C-alpha cells in the first residue's frame, strides 16, 4: 500500500480551527498517512495583535507547537488540506499569505494532481462557513489540486460540517468544536488520505507499466 503524505496547513487565532486540524490529522493518520500540521503566521504587527485579547498568547502557544508551513511542505505532500477561520466570509489573510507564497511551485506545475481539501470555523451559524471553504477552493483550482469535498459520504455529515468541508461554529465565547464537528473532521482526514493514495497509486501505475 502506497504511503501518503498529508500537509494540514491552517491558521487559527483562538483554537477552534486548530482543533479541527488536529481531528483531520487523526483521521488521516488512522488511514496510514504521514501527516504534518503547520500553522500559518500572523501578517500584522504585534501592536495590532495586542488590541485583541489573547491573540499574542494564543499565537505564542501555537507557534511553539507548529512550524510555519513552507513550499517544501507543499512539495512533499500528496494531499494538502487548508484550514482557516472565516474573515468576512473569506479565508484569513494569514492563510492566504502562505498560499500566495506557493507561486513558484505553481509556475513549475509542481502541485498539479495532488489532492486538496479545506475546512473552516465561523462564530455564527450562517456566518460564511461555506463561502470561506469555497474561497480556499479558488487557489486550489489554480494550483491544479484535485478537489476533495465531503458530500454526504459519511453519516456524520447529516449532523455537522458541510458537504464542502468540515466546519465548526465557535460563537461569541470561542467554544471548541462539538463531538459531531470532530467526527466530520476525522472523516475528512480519512477521505483525503484515501483519495490521495488512489491518485498516487494510479500515477505510479501509469508511469511504471
Ligand X SMILES: Cc1cc2nc3c(=O)[nH]c(=O)nc-3n(C[C@H](O)[C@H](O)[C@H](O)COP(=O)(O)O)c2cc1C
Considering only residues 6, 15, 139, 145, which one is a binding residue for ligand X as defined by CB under 6 A? Answer: 15
Considering only residues 70, 93, 101, 123, which one is a binding residue for ligand X as defined by CB under 6 A? Answer: 123
Report which secondary-structure segment, H or E, holds 83.
strand 79-85
Minimum gap (Å) between residue 17 Cβ and ligand X: 3
Select 70 or 90, whichever has its Cβ closest to ligand X.
90
127 binds ligand X (CB under 6 A): yes
88 binds ligand X (CB under 6 A): yes
For residues 124 and 167, what is the distance between their CA atoms, to the nearest angstrom? 11
Considering only residues 4, 7, 12, 143, which one is a binding residue for ligand X as defined by CB under 6 A? Answer: 12
Considering only residues 23, 24, 77, 85, which one is a binding residue for ligand X as defined by CB under 6 A? Answer: 85
Minimum gap (Å) between residue 92 Cβ and ligand X: 8
122 binds ligand X (CB under 6 A): yes
Provide the grid cell at 88: 468576512
Minimum gap (Å) between residue 72 Cβ and ligand X: 25
Which residues from 136-175 bind ligand X, rule CB under 6 A?
A: 170, 174
Select 16 or 194, whichever has its Cβ closest to ligand X.
16
Considering only residues 3, 108, 124, 178, which one is a binding residue for ligand X as defined by CB under 6 A? Answer: 124
Residues 6+ apart with CB under 8 A from 55: 13, 49
- The rounded radius of gyration (Å) of the Cα atoms in the chain is 16
Say how many CA atoms lie within 13 Å of 142 toward its Cβ: 12
Give 100-107's long-range contacts (Cβ < 8 A, gap of 24+).
101/71, 102/71, 102/74, 102/143, 104/71, 105/71, 105/74, 105/75, 105/143, 106/142, 106/143
Minimum gap (Å) between residue 13 Cβ and ligand X: 4
Provide the grid cell at 136: 480556499
200 binds ligand X (CB under 6 A): no
Contact criterion met (CB below 8 Å) for 39 and 64: no
Rounded to 10 degrees, the C-alpha dihedral 132/74/198/156 comes to: -30
Minimum gap (Å) between residue 97 Cβ and ligand X: 15
Report the 10 Å Cβ neighbour count for 132.
29
Select 149 or 176, whichever has its Cβ closest to ligand X.
176
Which residues of this protein are in contact with ligand X, per CB under 6 A? 12-18, 85-89, 121-124, 127-128, 170, 174
Amino acid at each position: 500500500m502506497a504511503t501518503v503524505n498529508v500537509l494540514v496547513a491552517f491558521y487559527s487565532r483562538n483554537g477552534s480551527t486548530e482543533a479541527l486540524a488536529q481531528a483531520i490529522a487523526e483521521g488521516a493518520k488512522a488511514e496510514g498517512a504521514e501527516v504534518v500540521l503547520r500553522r500559518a503566521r500572523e501578517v500584522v504587527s504585534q501592536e495590532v495583535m495586542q488590541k485583541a485579547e489573547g491573540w499574542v498568547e494564543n499565537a505564542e502557544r501555537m507557534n511553539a507547537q507548529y512550524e510555519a508551513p513552507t513550499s517544501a511542505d507543499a512539495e512533499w505532500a500528496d494531499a494538502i488540506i487548508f484550514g482557516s477561520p472565516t474573515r468576512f466570509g473569506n479565508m484569513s489573510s494569514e492563510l492566504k499569505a502562505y498560499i500566495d507564497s506557493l507561486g513558484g511551485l505553481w509556475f513549475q506545475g509542481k502541485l498539479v494532481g495532488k489532492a486538496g481539501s479545506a475546512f473552516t470555523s465561523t462564530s455564527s451559524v450562517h456566518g460564511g462557513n461555506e463561502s470561506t471553504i469555497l474561497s480556499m477552493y479558488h487557489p486550489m483550482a489554480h494550483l491544479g489540486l484535485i478537489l476533495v469535498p465531503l458530500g454526504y459520504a459519511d453519516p456524520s455529515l447529516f449532523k455537522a460540517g458541510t458537504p464542502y468541508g468540515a466546519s465548526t461554529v465557535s460563537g461569541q465565547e470561542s467554544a471548541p468544536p462539538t463531538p459531531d464537528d470532530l467526527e466530520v473532521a476525522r472523516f475528512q482526514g480519512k477521505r483525503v488520505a484515501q483519495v490521495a493514495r488512489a491518485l498516487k497509486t494510479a500515477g505510479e501505475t501509469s508511469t511504471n507499466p
